[in-house]
Structure 1
């Protein structure tokens, strides 16, 4: 995949939600249907086994012991199914000596006997016609007989399978109808639930086409934070664009006068000194506005943290080489845990300009300190230079707050520092230092 290839789209969110919900629903209905079918079959077979046991008790009541120790039926059962050959209904009595008394439906066949007891036993067996039988049996002791006789009654399981199969078919139809209805409900629910996302997409198209400046729709609480985040990004982009326009306008306005002077000089007898002065002025104006534009573009990004002490130490090391001949003492008093919420370059620009300015005006000493308050990072840069009056301090603060074109005054550095501080949501203040010179306080949000 090359950079020119469009990004591959994942499966639709609607399809994912519907497939996941439908799969889980079908699994639950299948498991529930199987459990219900097995429970119904077990209940039917249990009830059928009790019916067979009732017939077994009737057979026991009809058996009498004949002279010689044999068994005989004293009266017929009255159920023709036991008289029809291989009808699927059988009874069998096995005497203690192994002789058997059987129903006519068994003819000359027999059902294998398994050891049992006086309680009812239920099992499955194969009949004389290879049919599947449900067998109910128990051992019964008769008066005058030594040992217990084994009596069983068996019936073809098809007697109950037909009803069970009809129930299973009805259950499948009911569960299938329920599944279809619930899947339709899931589709409606998912599409209705995701309607705000489609509305957000339509609003984004309006923003892209210029019909709106931001997302203005009413969104549910789950996606409202997403809309607010998008609006923050749109507002930030709009702010950056407006700043860029302002910088371009200011630069164009500031260059008009120098360009007019250069044009006039070129048309007449050009004065090299005048031209050099105007070129230097234009270069300074360009650097001024480029510095402010860079400061505006580099702020406002989330998730960044910069250690304050390492930046201040790095700036001190550079300034120590620059002002080595003057023997300035630059003290840095910053706790290791102090963090700036923003780009390292922004903090380097702030420290670099403030500390360079302090070194420029200091006599012997510059002090740099910082502390992490609850909601703010407080930075202070002081020097023991001549300082400035309160009126001049107010003028510096006023100029620092303005973004339109002004003569640099205290220089380009403080203008850029002022822009960086305010673009990062902080405040800049000037006062008289305890060392005797200027004290510059910077408060930057730490959250």
Structure 2
């Protein structure tokens, strides 16, 4: 399937140009052939006039000179033949060039004036024939048909040569036309190319919208895209502000409840623990909703975040957190090591996956980044207990946890899943060669 608009237009224009020329060539050849026939007819009419002007009537008999003014009639191997027939179709004179030629033609003196036609000779060659009926000195006995013949070979050779020149000329004209069409389409589609470059800048975050420096036909599209971008920015801003206001408004009541629970713990330890767990759960859920709002992918803007600096920073932090547990981290990263994701979203995603890997591993974590056709694959593996195949779908649901020995509400992987879904990516859980779980994040390449 052709994905290029310029190539489609070029092929359509080339097809129309070829069809036009294919239809024009026969018409042009027919016009040239007709013009040649008319030229031959006029020339033969002039030659017959020469025959008529040379004829003399003596004692009621037709007399023709031994040599005619037009030397072509006098040459034995000439291509111009002259004949004179009486009113009964009997041959009464022939030119020297016609001495050895016999043409299957019998004139009919019928008062029609002149006839232009074709006939074939004994040697198989075809001839143009121009027949003029003339009454010399009046009376039926002085009625003759003066006939001039010319070989068709010259006409056919001329027509063949012109046809070859037509083919060469039309081929060259078609090539020039295609080059001009390609140049014209390239010039005409510059505006689309310019708009594509502006979209690339929008996706890269280097500009906020498209300019109005485009043809009238594209302005509606560019303005609609600008409205979409502006609306998206405003909606995301309102979404973040609303959730920020919600979190701020809940912060004070949660702090009060936290203080109450601490006071209550001095008297009712069990009830205080229940209250603290619920407060912690509420705080985590608020954080989760804020993360969902702030880490979703923008509609048009595409980001690229460097991976190695983020991994080194996170690993350094987690090494301090799990300082009592030596963890060997290995990295196998493609070059360049960028990931098609916003840096904040990538940091949150890796933070959750690496925290799980550090917490559950025995002592080894492996991070890798490699390319597949159309995808960039980021993998986080460990040598821990792994995830049973029957439980892999369940742990991605919010609030579901397999590890019950450590505190938490089970929303880390849910955040990861939401980020991956917002980027139209894929999360694949598998067994790692290290012995534990392998999380493969497959991100689409634009």
TM-score range, shorter chain: 0.5 to 0.7
Residue 221 (structure 2) pairs with residue 226 (structure 1): yes
Correspondent of 2:186 among 176, 191, 196: 191
1:112 aligns to 2:105 (yes or no): yes
Residue 157 of structure 1 and its aligned partner are, at CA, apart by 2.3
- Equivalent residue for 1:41? 33
Displacement of 1:136 in angstroms is: 0.7
* In 2, Cα distance between equivalents of 1:70 and 1:98: 16
Task: Please give the secondary structure, in 1, of the residue aligned with 2:217.
Answer: coil
Please give the alpha-carbon distance, in whole angstroms, between the structure 1 residues aligned to 2:123 and 2:185: 57
Shift of 1:164: 4.5
Residue among 240, 247, 251 paired with 1:252? 247
Q: Can you list the C-alpha shifts for 1:342-375, whole angstroms capped at 9, x where unaligned?
A: xxxxxxxxxxxxxxxxxxxxxxxxxxxxxxxxxx
Q: Please name the residue that 1:58 is paired with.
A: 50
Q: Quick check: 2:89–2:107 contact (8 Å CA) kept in 1?
A: no
Q: 1:264 & 1:229 partners in 2: Cα distance?
A: 52
The CA deviation string for residues 250-301 of structure 1, in whole angstroms up to 9 with x for no partner, is 22112212222332333332799xx99xx9xx99xx99xx9xx99xxxxxxx
Q: Aligned-pair distance for 1:134?
A: 1.4
- The residue correspondences of 1:176-187 to structure 2 (distance < 5 A) are 176-187=171-182
The question of whether the paired residues in 2 share the 8 Å contact of 1:56 and 1:153 is answered with yes
| Superposition deviation, residue 160 in structure 1 | 3.8
SS at match of 1:111: coil
Tell whether the 8 Å contact from 1:88 to 1:131 is kept in structure 2 after alignment. no
Q: Deviations over 1:102-160 (max 9, x none)?
A: 33444362332354644332112223322222111122233454484333211012334
Look up the SS of the partner of 1:213 in the other structure. Answer: coil
Residue of structure 2 in register with 1:76 after alignment: 67
Q: Matched residues in 2 for 1:128 and 1:58: separation? A: 26
Alignment check: 8 A CA contact 2:85 2:145 kept: yes
Find the residue that maps to 1:269 and give its secondary structure. helix
For 1:14-163, what aligned pairs fall within 5 Å after superposition?
14-64=6-56, 71-84=62-75, 87-101=78-92, 102-106=94-98, 107=100, 109-113=102-106, 115=108, 117-142=111-136, 143-146=138-141, 148-163=143-158
- Shift of residue 92 of structure 1? 2.2
Give the SS at the match of 1:223: helix
- Residue-pair matches, total: 280
Distance 1:71 1:180 in 2: 62
Across the aligned residues of Structure 1 and Structure 2, the Cα RMSD in angstroms comes to 4.0
Deviation sequence 1:63-111 (CA, Å, 0-9, x none) = 44566x7644244324454355564322222223342133344436233
Structure 1 residue 191, shift from structure 2 partner: 0.9
Q: Secondary structure at the match of 1:133?
A: strand
Whole-angstrom distance in 2 between the partners of 1:111 and 1:105: 16
Whole-angstrom distance in 2 between the partners of 1:25 and 1:38? 20
1:29/1:98 Cα in 2 relative to 1: closer, same or farther (>3 Å)?
Answer: closer
Residue 42 of structure 1 and its aligned partner are, at CA, apart by 2.3
Distance 2:3 2:62 in 1: 78
